[in-house]
Amino acid sequence: MAETSKTVGESNSVLDIDETSMKTNSVDQASSLLLSLAFLIGLAVFMLGLLFFLRSMSSTQQVIILEPERIAGRGENAEGTERDFDPPSADEVEQLNEPAIEQTLQLVTEAISSISSTLDAMDTNVGNDSNGKGDSRPPGPEGEGDDIIPRFDRWELKFTARDRRSYAIQLEAFKIDIGAIGGGVATVDYVTSVANGPSKNSVAPKDEKARKRLKFISVSESVLLQYEKQILQAAGIPHAGRQILKFVPNDVEEQLAQAEAAYFLDKRSKDFRVTTIAKTVFECRPKGKGGGFEFVVIDQRYRVAGNGGK
């Protein structure tokens, strides 16, 4: 009986559970804490990456559909308050043919009877312009269109440069050429690659006109104008007595137009009307990421009502 009880006692000790092994020790606590921290850090990094991706997608500049600017201009016509007569059409020319003798006598009689009233109605304050009251359209190439200030007069490009080299780098970033016209020279001379390996080019005025590049005239004496003269001189282009121009490529012109419209929609109105803009000032600034430069609208002024504005 004694041996039996001893065996039972030994079997009970095998089935007993050591409660101290179930307790969490400091090593387990530390490892659990580190795993939790690693999980939270990974989750935070993932959320930040997702937020950055969404913001980069939303910050993509939306392309604004812009209608072509139809600018009215008087061409070579004299400035005035009215519009000159248009050339007669074929039907009108036919009506102007010499009438029959009976019609002529009748017209003479009517003309004599209306001379006195005609003289009273005439405007005696006749100017020296042979075209009467001239052409009321604004300066620019002759044509019909809206009362819009042309881009070459409406836009202003500002650059900040400490020397010719830094100015040339900004110009070349936008593929803007520096050129000269007039001064008794029959060609349009301009410099490409103004910063790296300036190259002289000469074309006929009609060929340059066909390229339809936007041109800005440098009129006021400034440090930048001196840099432009140095750029022309370095390329062997004479500039004395000539008009110095900046030639803007078509794609850069479209970028400027998009920036102008976006600024208008953000600051002025959700209904974009280019006819109301008097001046848009752009500034060339370094890009924050990736290098290079960009044009940023820093100011925009508007026309008063009755002068193209609404």
**Torsions phi, psi for 308 (to 5 deg):** 95, -20
Residues 205 and 207: their CA atoms lie apart, in Å, by 5
Residue the block writes with tokens 């280019």 = 274
Sign of the Cα pseudo-torsion (233, 205, 241, 172, in order): negative
Convert the pLDDT of each residue in 30-66 to its tens digit. Answer: 788 888 888 889 888 888 888 776 665 544 556 777 7
Convert the pLDDT of each residue in 287-298 to its tens digit. Answer: 877 789 999 999
Residues 296 and 260: their CA atoms lie apart, in Å, by 9
Q: What pLDDT shows up at residue 71? A: 75
Six-digit token pair at 182?
């007039």
Residue the block writes with tokens 């209904």 = 271
Q: What pLDDT shows up at residue 126? A: 39
Q: What pLDDT shows up at residue 205? A: 95
Q: What pLDDT shows up at residue 127? A: 41
Q: In the chain, helix, strand, coil percent, each to 5?
A: 40, 20, 40
**Torsions phi, psi for 57 (to 5 deg):** -70, -40
Cα-only R_g, the chain: 40
Q: Is 28 exposed, middle or buried (0-12, 13-18, 19+ CB in 10 A)?
A: exposed
- Give the count of alpha carbons within 13 A of 87, CB side only: 2
Q: What pLDDT shows up at residue 216? A: 94
pTM here is: 0.61
On whether the CB atoms of residues 276 and 302 are closer than 8 A, the answer is yes
**Torsions phi, psi for 286 (to 5 deg):** -70, 145
Q: What pLDDT shows up at residue 75? A: 64
Six-digit token pair at 117?
């009233």
Residues 299 and 173: their CA atoms lie apart, in Å, by 22
Give the contacts of 186 (CB within 8 A, at least 6 positions apart): 204
Q: What pLDDT shows up at residue 95? A: 55
Convert the pLDDT of each residue in 131-153 to its tens digit. Answer: 556 666 666 556 677 889 999 99
In angstroms, what CA-CA distances link 150 with 12, 68, 69, 138, 153? 103, 12, 8, 10, 5
Convert the pLDDT of each residue in 147-183 to its tens digit. Answer: 899 999 999 999 999 999 999 999 999 999 999 999 9
